[in-house]
Amino acid sequence: FGRWGCVGGLSCTHTVWPGGGAHAPFTFTLVSEWVSSAGSCKGRCFELEEAKPPGCRCDNLCKTYYSCCSDFDFHCLKTGGGFECTQDRCGEERNEDHACHCSEDCLEKGDCCSNYKSLCHGETSWVQEDCEEIKTAECPAGFIRPPLIMLSVDGFRASYLKKSKSVIPTLQKLSTCPPVPSLSFSLQGLYPESHGIVGNTMHDPVFNATFSLRTREKLNHRWWGGQPLMDVPVLMIHLFLISRVIPLERRILTILRWLHLPDNEREIDNIIGQLMNGLKQMNLHRCVNVIIVGDHGMEEAHCERTEFLSSYPLNIDEITLIPGSLGRIRPRDPKSTTYDPKVVVANLTCKMPTQHFKPYLKQHLPKRLHYANNRRIEDVHLLMERKWHIAKKMPEKLRTRCGFFGDHGFDNKITSMRTIFIGHGPSFKFQKQVPEFENIELYNVMCDLLGLKPAPNNGTYGSLNDLLKDPPFTPTMPDEVTPPTPPLDSEVSLTHDLGCSCDEETDSTVTVGFCFTLFCIIMCKCVFSYCMYVCVCAADSTHLPFGRPAVMFDTQYSLLHHVEFISGYSKELGMPLWTSYTLSCWNILLCVFFLTDMASSPESRYDASLITNAVPMYPAFKRVWSFLQGALLRRFADENNGVNILVGPVFDNDYDGLRDTTDKIREFSADVPPIPTHFYTVVTSCQEVNQTVEECDGGLRTFSFLLPHRPDNSETCNNLEDESQWVEDLLKLHTARVRDVEILTGLDLYRSTNLTYTSTLSLKTHLHTFESDD
């Protein structure tokens, strides 16, 4: 803790007592552009305009920038009388030293305590009212559109909503009225690797500087990438970020005061209740849209569950470790010629019988984390087991107490890392629940609510349209860039009259024949009264029940129809871009019979989808792939009444999370066949378990894997055991969204379903975590 003191407004000294006052204080000086004595905050508290230097500031962020007028605390952070009315304060004479007022003129002046009407005039408070559907926004004159208030609650784990109504009555009410999914939060709709804030502490090798929330460097704009919502130019739109120095109650009163202008869990629940009661008191509860989110969940943690790098064969004097729930390692000397991240990972891989982390080069981290493509992300990462921390070495003095019992920052697929989203107001659908989504999707929704055009971001615009009553943007299926070309320049010749006639009202199947050497159905199609023969291969509907994947980049490829699968074969790469087949109890039996008759093994059917087209695959990885194709997919088919499988290679040699161009693939492969960096698998089944994928006429379930293609299986320490003991856990670690697969392959999936396109996007952006609920 410490104390600030400013001299003449030109510089501020911060005196700090380390260790809670047990040691002598030390002082450092910060220079400020603003002069604290150059003005007063009387009548200016939390003004919307930022005063330019050298004049002092009275806005909500002046504390953060050390730019407040010297009387800011006296005028703006009053706490007298508390933050709520009490019975004995009702009708009191106005006291300007009070934080909020209970006087008869407070409604006119817009500075009442939020419970003034309910306590002093007997009106029902917002939280005590029943849920109501707000069919249209009811805003006072002067509002161009419903304002948006967003509250972000630090560390609110999704499972906290299961607590009793007596503990969190406001949140319980909010969670039963509007949409309530869980989510994994960004005002830019960007992943950390895209906006550049990759941690609370981070080093930039180009700046040769370190960012920390505890230092003034965090105020330097050079660290912040992307376009935050507050930077989008628009008239009469304000987004307010308030310094953590300002009490929560004062923040809520400030928000309510702004709306009056022209144009601990229990504590948090009380604060949100204060907001909702205040909105009702101002007759804005049917006007304002409110979003409540958490920035992350929370997991149990303790000092006793800490791994120390000093216990491993590693020279810890040569490295810098960012410790905690996700360890990040860089060389202590940026110019070191001996530091090798691959050696560091090797020296930390499977060295202890009970090791509580997995070491990774950042390009080998699960792709769903999107945590590799930024110079501030260290080359070596330690993915910690839940509840465990990493530190450099054991403290010299044993701790007498542990300063924490929980933490965040663990793998975001862990259930305890999920947080909440609650949307309430006239623009949200009433009592609508949507599946979990990643927080990058929320930026587009906020732009829609504010009438803004979103800047480019990592979200999928339209995927959350089901949250809103009247979404302004309607997504449409993109046009395919490259259709397939015929594998052979040949025409089908018919040797006899099939009796095709356009006299019939509907198209009809006439007979069977051969098309491109495949057993197919010849159908009559009447187009503008002309009879046409169309070859429809039976495998198309069986092995592509949701439509053919569209190729969204310039290339050349052909469809190869096999009896048991279909491939989109790339002429440029000499391998399939994708292979699709459907597994059901019926065709598994048929397959076993057929392959036995052909004196072949059951596994050959699954291998054929890739091996016969010469996709290079490391022998070690083949163990993973064979177990997935030969055992797990069969089980998935049995559990889901059949599944459709889409598999193929991924090339992301520069680990930017995007599909490599053909030229880049050739650059990395030189004179050898291109070697994929990953292989993907997309598994789809019908949500209605009584329907097969071929029959499915409703919702779909899907999960995907993006598996790193590596020459060894060292990621799993028990890889010498039978595949049944470790492969499935490895697959679940590398779970991914379908949208991740699409971005890495340049494909567009699910182009022929009964779903709305918004539902299709929701399906694609959902991450199946394989985690149980809290």
pLDDT of residue 458: 94
Burial class from Cβ neighbours inside 10 Å (0-12, 13-18, 19+) for residue 482 reads middle
If you average pLDDT over residues 173-189, what whole number do you get?
63
Tell me: pLDDT of 694 over 70: yes
| pLDDT of 379 strictly over 70 | yes
* pLDDT band for position 245 (cuts 50, 70, 90): low
Q: Tell me the C-alpha distance between 20 and 723, whole Å.
A: 53
Class of domain 300-410: alpha beta
468 CA to centre of own chain: 19
CATH number attached to the domain at 127-190+226-297+418-458: 3.40.720.10
- The answer to whether residue 491 scores a pLDDT higher than 60 is no
The arrangement of strands across the sheet holding 678-686 comes to: 557-561, 566-570, 575-583, 643-650, 678-686, 700-708, 735-736
The pLDDT-based confidence of 260 (bands split at 50, 70, 90) is: low
The reported pLDDT for the residue numbered 761 is 97
Please determine, for residue 462, whether its predicted confidence score (pLDDT) is greater than 50: yes
Residue 607 has pLDDT above 50, yes or no: no
Comparing 35 with 263, the larger pLDDT belongs to 35
pLDDT value for 457 = 93
Q: So what's the pLDDT on residue 737?
A: 97
Spatial distance between the Cα atoms of 242 and 63, rounded to a whole number of angstroms: 9
Place of tokens 């905050």: 41
State the sign of the Cα–Cα–Cα–Cα dihedral 109, 115, 116, 121.
positive
- Alpha carbon 374 to its chain centroid, in Å, reads 17
Q: What is the mean pLDDT of residues 435-456?
A: 92
Give, rounded to a whole angstrom, the gap between the first and last alpha carbons of the chain.
36
With beta carbons less than 8 A apart as the criterion, state whether 570 and 581 touch: no
Query: What is the Cα–Cα distance from 595 to 697, expressed in whole angstroms?
Result: 32
Mean pLDDT, rounded, for 11-16: 41
User: 540-764, superfamily in CATH?
Assistant: Extracellular Endonuclease, subunit A (3.40.570.10)
pLDDT of residue 348 exceeding 50, the answer is yes
Q: Which amino acid is at 61?
A: L
Q: Smallest Cα–Cα separation from 592: which of 537, 645, 543, 634?
A: 634
Average pLDDT score over residue span 298-314: 90
- Total Cβ atoms within 10 A of residue 517: 10
Average pLDDT (477-505) is: 64
Residue type, 578: W
Query: Does 705 score more than 80 pLDDT?
Result: yes
What integer pLDDT is reported at residue 117 of this predicted model?
95
Confidence of residue 261 (pLDDT cuts 50, 70, 90): low
Instruction: Output the DSSP codes for 632-673.
Output: IHHHHHHHTT-EEEEEEEE--TT-SSSPPPHHHHHHHHTTS-
| Burial tier of 717 (Cβ tally within 10 Å: 0-12, 13-18, 19+) | middle
pLDDT surpasses 70 at 9 = no
Query: Where do the structural domains in the chain lie, given as residue ranges?
Result: 127-190+226-297+418-458, 300-410, 540-764
- Percentage of the chain beyond pLDDT 70 is 78
- Tell me, what's the pLDDT at 158? 82
Distances (CA, A) of 52 to 35, 43, 64, 77, 338: 10, 18, 15, 22, 49
127-190+226-297+418-458 and 540-764 agree in CATH topology: no
Give Cα 1 to chain centroid, integer Å.
35
pLDDT band at 561 (very low <50, low <70, confident <90, very high): confident
Query: Could you tell me the CA-to-CA distances from 292 to 129, 180, 365, 474, 596 in Å, in that order?
Result: 19, 10, 31, 25, 59
pLDDT in tens, 54-95: 999 999 889 888 899 999 999 999 989 999 999 999 999 999
Distances (CA, A) of 131 to 122, 202, 286, 422: 20, 45, 12, 14
pLDDT digits (tens, 9 = 90+) for 707-726: 999 999 999 999 999 999 99
Best CA proximity match to 465, nearest among 736, 721, 761: 761
Give tens-digit pLDDT for 492-527: 444 444 455 555 444 444 333 334 334 344 444 444
Of residues 517, 477, 428, the one with CA closest to residue 148: 428
